[in-house]
Structure 1
Amino acid sequence: MLVLDELRSRYPEQELCFSLRAEAGEITALIGPSGAGKSTLLAMVAGFARVDSGRLCLDGRDLLPLPPAQRPMTTLFQDNNLFWHMTVYQNIAIGLSPSLRLTAAQREDVEQVARQVGIAALLQRKPASLSGGQQQRVGLARCLVRQTPVLLLDEPFSALDPALRFELLDLLRTQTDRLGLTVLLVTHHPDEAARVADRIAFVYDGHILEQGDKGLLSAPRTPALQAYLGR
């Protein structure tokens, strides 16, 4: 279980404080208005933003002393950060070794994850020749090949057409179930949360104002969430 216990960061214009529990095998969708603190929450968990106080633990292990590279998690952004001069194979493989010197077992891991996300036929192509949906599959494959227990996803599919968004969300759901991942998914689309999330957390003004199962979307309790959902 990933636990955020009053994870706090203080800025001159805002103080953020988050408490959340996310189980293995579950997707927790973080929804809320722009500027509420959703992306900052992910950055605090990943180690990219400072934390002034509180606890961050995974299965009882304190993660706060660890630098980002040593935390057992992988982050995927809307901009998938692909290397345009590399092939799809190399873009996935770099998640395992920056030098691209892979063992035979690692090469098989790259090919296996490519098959799982439906890009096995694209391994020798460059990202510029791929569609937006294919590029995001490559980014997701690079996350999965690292085999970290936690995935942090910051609106990774928001620039795609609805049909492609739902296709990749279903793929994420399948991989979460198969691998027992703990996923935090930032989204501006409540329909995405309704489709794949096990838990919903509504982030508002630097805090998690409401959280619960998907029933939260049909029965919001606070005026802020009601307004966000257009109720």
Structure 2
Amino acid sequence: MPSDHSETGLELRTVSIRLGGQELLAVDLVIAPGEIVTLMGPSGSGKSSLLGHICGTLPAQFDVSGQVVLNGRSLDGCPPQDRHVGILFQDDLLFPHLSVGGNLAFALPASVKGKAKRRMLVENALKNADMDGFADRDPATLSGGQRARVALLRVLLSEPCALLLDEPFSKLDSELRGQFRSFVFEQCRKNRLPTLMVTHDPEDGSAAGGRVINLA
């Protein structure tokens, strides 16, 4: 991850999101490095809108006040690619025309130079995920759990300073869900990523072991 001497985590300073004059969500929150905070609430309560705002992809028709700060730097007005915020969705969104290794290499920062070095980073990531030797595989040949792991590895290789989880476990069966959930949370803590997870499943929040915020 990019080094930052002021590693203070992700701060949502009195963030309020409105649509058509109606407030969807209001939150004031600090997420420390390596901490996982769970956000729960019914559909339409603004959970995914908040993630979009943090990423910089929220449509212009939403009215937002407050401030998003990551490691002491305000993200307000920054384009998405400059925010160093990773997001993992419920769909893996792997590129079908690229190999597993190609999918992962796509996420590497441009500052990582040299084909050999980029290949080494990809192979090391796969090895750490118990997928050694998968670099040349077609994503279509992977199981659901393997595809989910590759999707997470791709996010991590982009060197985010914070991670957002948007229902990332909802399409996995119960066994895979537990395994992948443990792997995701382990990576969040290992990489000291302040993590905000949106979910409908109370078991996800329990497994994360951190604060759970329930929206009305």
TM-score (norm 1): 0.82
Structure 2 residue 15 is the aligned partner of structure 1 residue 3: no
Q: How many residues align?
A: 203
Change (3 A) 1:191 1:52: closer
CA deviation after TM superposition for structure 1 residue 159, in Å: 0.5
Gaps of 5+ in 1: 205-231
- 2:17, 2:46 within 8 Å by CA — same for their partners in 1? no
1:27 aligns with 2:43: no
Q: Among the aligned pairs, what percent are the same residue?
A: 38
**Match of 2:57?**
48
Q: Displacement of 1:59 after TM fit? A: 2.1
Residue 146, structure 1, aligned to residue 158, structure 2: yes
Find the counterpart in structure 2 of residue 124 from structure 1: 136
Which aligned pairs between 1:1-231 and structure 2 lie closer than 5 A?
A: 1-12=9-20, 14-16=22-24, 17-49=26-58, 50=60, 52-96=64-108, 102-204=114-216
CA RMSD of aligned residues (A): 1.9
1:57, 1:71 → 2: CA distance? 10
TM-score (norm 2): 0.87
Following TM superposition, the consecutive aligned residue runs of length 4 or more in structure 1 with deviations greater than 6 angstroms are none
Question: In the aligned structure 1, how far is the partner of 2:115 from the partner of 2:180?
Answer: 29
CA distance in 1, matches of 2:141, 2:41: 34
| Deviation digits for residues 173-230 of structure 1 (CA, Å, limit 9, x no counterpart) | 21122111111111111011101232212123xxxxxxxxxxxxxxxxxxxxxxxxxx
Q: Unaligned regions of 5+ residues in structure 2, if any?
A: 1-8
**1:138-188 Cα deviation digits (max 9, x unpaired):** 100101111212111101111001111110111112112211111111111
